[in-house]
Amino acid sequence: MTFKTLKHTCSCLADKIRNSTGQPVCPGQIAPLSESCRSGRLKICKITGDRKLCTRMASLGVYPGEEVELLCPENGSQCLLKLQGTTLTLDSNTTRNILVTEA
């Protein structure tokens, strides 16, 4: 299987999931995780950045559509995310590339 085939297959699956509900994945205001000012439930809308970052986030279970809990928000620094029973610490570069909205 080539990368082009894999990319097309994944894209088609994402489109099917997105279109099955008939609603956008993230209605409402979308902002980078680094700009979230308060603790609470958030929904991941999109992960931007290079392929390495997206792969790393996928290996940690951070996907668009997932709901996470922001534990310690500090603008522009590291933050703690609670996701599926685990706690992740993310650096400021990573948090700028994760777009979220309130859940």
Query: Which pTM does this prediction carry?
Result: 0.71
Q: Which of 83, 101, 87, 92 lies closest to 34, judged by CA?
A: 92
Above 90 in pLDDT, residue 82? yes
Say whether 79 sits in a helix, a strand or coil: strand
Average pLDDT, the chain: 78
Domains and CATH numbers, the chain: 25-102 (2.30.30.90)
8 A C-beta contact, residue 79 and residue 95 = yes
Average pLDDT over residues 28-36: 85
The residue that leads in pLDDT, 53 or 12, is: 53
Above 70 in pLDDT, residue 74? no
Task: Render pLDDT for 5-29 as a digit per residue (tens, 0 to 9).
Answer: 544 444 454 555 455 445 556 777 8
